[in-house]
Amino acid sequence: MRVTKHEHAALTLEKQGRRLIVDPGSFTSPLDDAEHVVGIVITHEHPDHWTAEHLDRLLATNPGIPIVAPEGVAHAAPGYDITVVSPGDSIDIDPFHLEFFGGRHAVIHESIPIVDNVGVLVDDALYYPGDSYAVPKGASVTLLAAPVGAPWLKIGDAMDFVLAVAPRQVFGTHDMTLSVAGRDMGRARLRWAVEQGGGELLTLDPGDSTEL
């Protein structure tokens, strides 16, 4: 499986010539690899993780593909056919196997409502938590996409999340709100955390890929 990082939180996963798109949001440029898409995963309803423009563009090229998301997205995206998932669910979008964890977005502030959020584990290998620190209990994660910058994120908590998941490899995502200096500082902290379990940091910029 090839994993490509795009701006901010968006990922493209490619396997057997087919693609799965994760969290194409407002900070993400129009995706060039919009063909052969078999499904879209949205972890939660915030606009930096999905936009109607992205969905319309992907659906125009790939009509009828499923959009998989928690219940909050179904309410926030009327007019789209959302396949609602909850923590503990698993589904297959050929050739990908998806399992879902967590359930709630990390707390930003007590004045801001907490929304539904699911982390997604793909093919028992790649895990992306959305905007949460939900650990995929029982999973042996090969590659972790770890948020590194957000209004709700303290880097020490992100480090503890990496320590808890203990992946073989990690790369930073959710990073468009950071300066270059802040992004690099966050990556350095993730590097320390993953190395405690013998893993390694991958430095992926938008458009960069890695193979699983």
Could you give the residue ranges of the DSSP H alpha helices within the chain? 52-61, 71-76, 155-165, 180-195
What CATH number is attached to the domain comprising 64? 3.60.15.10
Q: Where are the beta strands (DSSP E) in 55-201?
A: 67-69, 82-84, 90-93, 96-104, 116-122, 126-128, 143-147, 169-173, 200-201
Q: What pLDDT does residue 140 have? A: 94
- 26 lies in some domain: yes
Residues 49-102 have pLDDT tens digits of: 999 999 999 999 999 999 999 999 999 999 999 999 999 999 999 999 999 999
pLDDT in tens, 148-175: 999 999 999 999 999 999 999 999 999 9
Whole-number pLDDT of residue 34:
87
Each residue of 191-211: pLDDT tens digit?
999 999 999 999 999 999 999
**33 within some domain:** yes
Name, in order, each residue with C-beta under 8 angstroms of 111's C-beta and a sequence gap of 6 or more. none
Residue 208 lies in a domain: no
Place of tokens 């902290």: 189
Residues 11-24 have pLDDT tens digits of: 999 999 999 999 99
Asked whether 29 and 58 are in contact (CB, 8 A), the reply is no
Binning pLDDT at 50, 70 and 90, where does residue 190 land?
very high
Predicted pLDDT at 40: 98
Neighbours of 119 (CB within 10 A): 22
Task: Please give the Cα distance from 199 to 193 (Å, whole number).
Answer: 9
Per-residue pLDDT tens digits for 99-146: 999 999 999 999 999 999 999 999 999 999 999 999 999 999 999 999
Quick one: pLDDT at residue 32?
Answer: 79
The model's pLDDT over 33-59, given as tens digits with 9 standing for 90+, comes to 789 999 999 999 999 999 999 999 999
Displacement of CA 149 from its chain's centroid (Å) = 13
Asked if the structure places residue 170 within a domain, the reply is yes
Quick one: pLDDT at residue 162? 98
Cα 138 to the chain's mean position, in Å? 19
What is the total count of domains within the chain?
Answer: 1
What is the predicted pLDDT for the residue at 61? 95
Indicate whether 162 belongs to any domain: yes
Report yes or no on 210 lying in a domain. no
- The answer to whether residue 57 sits within a structural domain is yes
Domain region containing 127: 2-108+115-202
Residue 100 in domain: yes
Residues 208 and 62: their CA atoms lie apart, in Å, by: 24
> Which candidate, 44, 40, 77, places its Cα nearest to that of 57?
40
